[in-house]
Amino acid sequence: MRCLLSLVFFTSLSVAADRPNVMFILADDLGYSDLGCYGGDIATPNLDALAKEGLRFTQFYNTARCWPTRGALMSGYYAQQIHRDELPGLGGGGRGVRQSWARLLPDYLKPAGYRNYHSGKWHIDGPVLQSGFDRSLDVRNQGNFFSSKGNALDDVPVVPPENETGYYATTATADHAIDCLKEHAANYQKSPFFHYVAFIAPHFPLHALPEDIALYRDKYLAGWEKMRQTRYQRQKYMGIVNTELSAVERDIGPPYDFPDAFEKLGPGEINRPLPWDDLTDEQRHFQATKMAIHAAMVHRMDIEIGRILQQLREMGAYENTLIFFASDNGASAEIMVRNGGHDPKAEPGSAATYLCLGPGFSNACNTPFRRHKTWVHEGGISTPLIAHWPQGIQAHGELRHTPAHVVDIVPTVLEVAGVEKPKAWQDETLPEAPGKSLVPALAKDEIIARDSLWWLHEGNRAVRVGDWKLVAAKGDPWELYDLSTDRAEAHNLAAKMPDKVKELEAIWQKQTDQFSDLAKKTLNEQPQAPATGKGKGKGKAQAKQRE
């Protein structure tokens, strides 16, 4: 069957030069319902058009956090397999270093003649160009959207001009992507390309252009409950969800505690999704303003994506470029003040401010699901996935309901590129990768067969087998849900079905043990955690690590 599908896709791709280009666009901290084509109220016409002309996956998953998702996306392995997220008693995470065999996608594509480009956030270990990319803009400055200080171009630190008026990270990311595409058209038009475009938006700090904020300034004064209900009704109408709307968990706030932030942010800030009507006028205005800035960041990202798409059209590459769009995790409930602090007298969204979305509107952005970034309930791990490829995908505007995960992208891209993944790297046998090619789902709405999907992040853990999901927040008992009707995770069946809990727990533990056995082989190659001291210094070090 796979051979037949491949034949359908590649009947016109008779020579290497006709292999499809691939572009993967990744947002940062985007909620499941933020895009218009996923029920949102933010203007995203370019992404909506890709969805209308292509496919939307309704059950696509990430790892719940920035760096594990990026490692899994580019390698095709769960982050814990390659030291890029923590395993019990073994460490790993943002400082983890991949094994020598844990190559990234460009290393597999390059021998097949692909040029490889990276524009935007990196957050994977090692220099970008040593990972197989030919050009890179590494937007390392994640604390100020209005400054390029700290960024790197082709792994060389950028020297910012004295006056950076007009710089905005989202636009700069698109500018670099377009420049790469123009160079490719001029010098490498006979070669296919892979382009990884990783926007920081809408990750905190909430920084946006004034003209974009103005479009949404008073849009969210009706509150987060109204926004959730409206988005949910749109999602049901679109057929994206068939679950009830999850209950608001009033006692769930930010995943990390920074009490000093509230002194800096003032009385408008709150750390729980309280009833909107219970807030003061000052709190309602402050919260609605933050959501307006978040929306403005998403809106601007869509505009810049439109510019990239136009460049593809102008260079004649649009029809034969497989474009994916996703987010690295759900919207964030975090609240903190970093990178120079927050000036409460400055215009919200400007460089002198440091605002985070917080749990109220984060909950609404993740409609209809529970929880936020870092949790592995559906709100933390569910992302839109748009797939668009005029020359290779015949269906337009259709939904795909198969559960899928970022580890599936590597095998999918390799199959459409006609590249067979090697069995070994530098004489070292490659461990079996967990991902499955999504090529069959590009042709029709079918379920991709797999044993399970697995999660672990900061003690939050989950496993999905078929439509059964076992999930637990750190320190909490297992919860059991039937996702065929309850992706809201509203009806915990653990007490009624203890045997199913034991069955799924055994599967989760077996996979965890296998990953641990693999990680132990190269544990001595991992860097030692630096001494962080005590008190405030330790807190700052931990906060930096968690970014």
**Tokens found for residue 262:** 């509230």
CA 296 to chain centroid = 18
Are 305 and 26 a contacting pair, CB within 8 Å? no
Q: How far is CA 260 from CA 144, 176, 257, in A?
A: 20, 37, 9
Tell whether the model's pLDDT for residue 337 goes beyond 60. Answer: yes
Provide mean pLDDT across the span 389-415.
97
Residues 292, 293, 298, 299: is their CA dihedral positive or negative?
positive
Does any domain span residue 40? yes
Provide mean pLDDT across the span 338-349.
94
- Cα-only R_g, the chain: 22
At 159-204, the pLDDT tens digits run 998 888 899 999 999 999 999 999 999 999 999 999 999 999 999 9
- Residue 55 host element (H or E): strand 55-61
Whole-number pLDDT of residue 293: 98
Whole-number pLDDT of residue 542: 35
Residue 186: how many other CB atoms lie within 10 Å: 9
Whole-number pLDDT of residue 521: 94
- Three-state DSSP at 151 gives coil
Does any domain span residue 317? yes
382-388 vs 321-327, strand pairing mode: antiparallel
Alpha helices (H) in 188-221, listed in sequence order: 210-216
Provide mean pLDDT across the span 68-78.
98
Backbone dihedral angles phi then psi of residue 424, each to the nearest 5 degrees: -145, 160
Window from 201-210, 248-257, 292-301, 537-546 with minimum mean pLDDT: 537-546
Whole-number pLDDT of residue 3: 41
Window from 8-22, 345-359, 482-496 with minimum mean pLDDT: 8-22
Backbone dihedral angles phi then psi of residue 348, each to the nearest 5 degrees: -55, 135
At 94-116, the pLDDT tens digits run 899 999 999 999 999 999 999 99
The sheet that has 479-482: what strands, in order across it?
A: 453-457, 460-465, 468-472, 479-482
Q: Which residue has the tokens 């992507």?
A: 177
List the one residue out of 312, 297, 357 whose CA is nearest residue 330: 357
Provide mean pLDDT across the span 30-50.
98
Provide mean pLDDT across the span 307-315.
98
At 495-520, the pLDDT tens digits run 999 999 999 999 999 999 999 999 99
Whole-number pLDDT of residue 152: 98
Q: Which residue has the tokens 């390698």?
A: 75
Whole-number pLDDT of residue 361: 98
At 404-456, the pLDDT tens digits run 999 999 999 999 999 999 999 888 899 999 999 999 999 999 999 999 999 99
Tell whether the model's pLDDT for residue 467 goes beyond 70. Answer: yes
Whole-number pLDDT of residue 426: 86
- The angle formed by the CA atoms of residues 329, 384 and 114, to the nearest 5 degrees, is 90
Does any domain span residue 243? yes
Residue 447 to residue 62: CA distance in whole angstroms: 18
List the one residue out of 47, 50, 92, 68 whose CA is nearest residue 329: 68
Does any domain span residue 161? yes
List the one residue out of 444, 396, 306 whose CA is nearest residue 52: 396
Provide mean pLDDT across the span 59-84.
98
Residue 45, classified by CB atoms within 10 Å of its CB into exposed (0-12), middle (13-18) or buried (19+), is middle
First to last CA, the chain: 43
202 preceded by a cis bond (ω within 30 of 0) = yes
pTM listed for this prediction? 0.94
Q: Which 3-state string (H, E, C) describes 454-509?
A: EEEECCEEEEEECCEEEEECCCCCCEEEECCCCCCCCCCCCCCCHHHHHHHHHHHH
Does any domain span residue 118? yes
Q: What range does the domain containing 230 cover? A: 22-451
Residue 356 to residue 547: CA distance in whole angstroms: 13
Residue 68 to residue 183: CA distance in whole angstroms: 31
Tell whether the model's pLDDT for residue 72 goes beyond 80. Answer: yes
Q: What mean pLDDT value characterizes the chain?
A: 93
Half-sphere exposure of 62 (CA within 13 A, CB side): 35
Q: Give 515 or 2, the one with higher predicted confidence.
A: 515
List the one residue out of 501, 512, 172, 460 whose CA is nearest residue 330: 460
Tell whether the model's pLDDT for residue 6 goes beyond 50. Answer: no
Whole-number pLDDT of residue 536: 37
Q: Which residues make Cβ contacts (< 8 Å) with residue 352, sequence separation at least 6?
A: 340, 342, 343, 346
Tell whether the model's pLDDT for residue 8 goes beyond 70. Answer: no
Q: Give 533 or 458, the one with higher predicted confidence.
A: 458
Provide the residue type at 337 as one letter: V
When divided into structural domains, the chain yields a total of: 1
Provide the residue type at 520 as one letter: K
DSSP state of 93: S
Q: Which residues make Cβ contacts (< 8 Å) with residue 411, sequence separation at least 6?
A: 76, 421, 433, 435, 436, 437
Residue 113 to residue 364: CA distance in whole angstroms: 44
- Three-state DSSP at 429 gives strand
Are 315 and 309 a contacting pair, CB within 8 Å? no
List the one residue out of 117, 125, 169 whose CA is nearest residue 147: 169
Does any domain span residue 95? yes
Residue 203 to residue 123: CA distance in whole angstroms: 13
Does any domain span residue 489? no
Provide the residue type at 182 as one letter: K
Does any domain span residue 205? yes
> Residue 266 sits in a domain of what CATH number?
3.40.720.10
List the one residue out of 281, 303, 290 whose CA is nearest residue 205: 290
At 106-145, the pLDDT tens digits run 999 999 999 999 999 999 999 999 999 999 999 999 999 9
